[in-house]
Each structure stands twice: as structure tokens, then as C-alpha cells.
Amino acid sequence: MDLAFEYLKRKIQSIGINCAGYKDDFLKRRLEGRMRLLGLKSYADYAHYIEKHSTEFTDLYDALTINVSEFFRDMSVWNALRQSILPALVKQKLASGKKELKVWSAGCADGEETYTHAILVLETLAFLSKSFKIQILGTDIDPPSLERAKKGTYSPVRLRLVNQSVLQRYFLPNADGTLSVTKPVRDLVAFKHHDLFTAPDSSDFDIISCRNVIIYFSRELQQHLFQNFYNALAPDGYLILGKVETLFGEAAVKFMGENLAERIYKKAAVTVKIALESKVGGN
């Protein structure tokens, strides 16, 4: 056991990050990134450094919570939402008379994915936007990231995948070269501080998107997150994971693969879940 590394984990815990859920490899990569920048060679050296430089806690917090993203990242996922998932949801809601759409972007970082959901909804459901109640929630554990998300202003590099017509409709240019999302997009979105390991305040989400986040957590914590997502989804709701993430264990029974190539899963109906559980139990 590396005592200095274990000491640093306790320090990380003290600044409000539950590192027990993170894989050690992830923590080591982030710590070693800071160590390289500071010219330090060992965890012990870094432990001594942070004891003498209190401002390093802020930089360490940023290193552990940073999640750089961009608008329309992994375009094929958004195409699947546009072409099949959203139309299916709308058809179902029109048939039932429930004119409400709820989306949760979990681990939203600076808000790019959350606003992308809003733009996609406006593009796909423009003819229904006034008659539907649309709620898109972005949550993250990092307060500075949430402040940037609420501001809604981005550099062009974060918008490199957005085509020109969408840029013109949903973004306003600023004098410094950045672009800000327009009011119609903002009106659909709310941001909130939230630790993924805690059950959300709201439920009955039609879509939960948590991409490129859970890969950093231990399998035990991943199972806990999958259960939280299952509980928070509406019947027949959809869960979207990152391209290198997948379901396992009990979660593989509670969700059905809707589009496995894009890591889109559908909450299993109660009858299907029970049948599958019985089958598993009988083997």
C-alpha cells in the first residue's frame, strides 16, 4: 500500500469529493498530472506540497472534476435521438395526452450537452414547443462548471460540430469572439448542483443522458448509479451512456438495448423485467 497515495485520497475527501467511488487509476492519473505540472516526482512530494500551498486544493479540485465537452459530441448519438427516440416519445405522449417532456443531463460539466438537448428538442419539436411542457435539467458536482453552464457562453472550439444554420438560429456572437445561447434555448434549461450518488429530487424523466462519466467510477458505484437512473426514469424512458460504457449485472436486466451501437437503452416494462429476473433465477 502506498501510504502517501492513501493520505492524498483522504485529503481529496476533505475537499468534498467522494473519491471512494472513483477508480484508483483515475485518481492517480489526475494526481500525476498535477505533479508533472509542479515538477514533483512522488505522491509523498505532492502531499508535502499541498500542506504548504493551500491554493493547490482549488487546482486539484478542478483537475478531479474537469469534464471538457462540446456541442453535439458524437453526432451519431444525436442523429439517433432526432430520427427515432424523440419521434417515438412524441407519438407516445400525443396518444396518451401527456404533453410533457423531461430530460436529465447528468454530469453536465459546462452545459454543452444540456444545451444540445434543448436545441435538438427545438429543432425536432418546433411545431409542438408551445403546447408541450419541456424541462431539461443539467446537474453537476462542480460549482464553477455550473456557473459557466448558467452563463451559456462558449468559445468557437466548443461549437466546431454545430452547422452554420443552427449557429445562426440558436447562438448570438459576442465582441470577444465567443457565442452565447439564445433565450429560447435558455428557457428550456435549468442547472442544479447534484452528486450523482444521491437520488435526484425529481423523477419520471423521459431521457437521462450520462455520457463519459461512469467509466471513472468503481463497478459498485456504477451499479448504484444505474439503480438511481432506473428509479428516476419514466416507464419506457431512455438511458444514454458514453460510447465506451455499458450496462452489467442487474442493470442489464432492468434496461433493454434500444440502440446498442449508440449506447441507448430503454427502461424495461415491469412484465419484461419480472420475466427476465425469473429466467436468471432459474439458471
Residue 235: CATH number of its domain:
3.40.50.150
How many structural domains is the chain composed of?
2
Residue with grid cell 436468471, as numbered in its chain: 280
The residue segments making up the domain with residue 29 are: 3-65
pLDDT tens across 12-49, in order?
777 666 666 667 887 888 888 888 889 998 989 998 99
Q: Are residues 171 and 124 in the same domain?
A: yes
Residue with grid cell 444505474, as numbered in its chain: 226
Among the ranges given (45-54, 142-151, 265-274), the one the predictor scored with the smallest mean pLDDT: 265-274
Contact (CB, 8 A) for 139 and 232: no
- Cell numbers that stand for 269 in this block: 416494462
Q: Are residues 271 and 133 in the same domain?
A: yes
- 268: number of Cβ within 10 Å: 19
**Is residue 274 scored above 60 in pLDDT?**
no
User: Does residue 198 lie within any of the structural domains?
Assistant: yes
What is the percentage of the chain residues whose pLDDT exceeds 90? 50
Q: Are residues 58 and 80 in the same domain?
A: no
User: Does residue 51 lie within any of the structural domains?
Assistant: yes
User: Does residue 150 lie within any of the structural domains?
Assistant: yes
Q: Are residues 158 and 266 in the same domain?
A: yes
- Helices then strands, counting H and E runs in the chain, come out as 13, 10
User: Does residue 105 lie within any of the structural domains?
Assistant: yes
**Is residue 273 scored above 60 in pLDDT?**
no
* Phi/psi at 234 (5° precision): -70, 160
pLDDT tens across 113-125, in order?
999 999 999 988 8
Q: Are residues 91 and 202 in the same domain?
A: yes
User: Does residue 70 lie within any of the structural domains?
Assistant: no
* Phi/psi at 17 (5° precision): -115, 125
pTM for this model (two decimals):
0.77
**283: CB partners within 8 A, 6+ apart:** none
Domain boundary among 16, 43, 65: 65
**185: CB partners within 8 A, 6+ apart:** 115, 118, 119, 122, 152, 170
Distance CA 272, CA 56 (A): 51
Amino acid at 134: I
Q: Are residues 54 and 137 in the same domain?
A: no
User: Does residue 129 lie within any of the structural domains?
Assistant: yes
Q: Are residues 108 and 57 in the same domain?
A: no
Q: Are residues 47 and 104 in the same domain?
A: no
Q: Are residues 59 and 90 in the same domain?
A: no
Q: Are residues 60 and 79 in the same domain?
A: no
Query: Looking at per-residue confidence, does 99 or 266 come out higher?
Result: 266
Q: Across all residues in the chain, what is the average pLDDT?
A: 86
Amino acid at 186: R
Residue with grid cell 432506473, as numbered in its chain: 230
Cα 263 to Cα 77, 241, 273: the distances in Å are 8, 5, 19
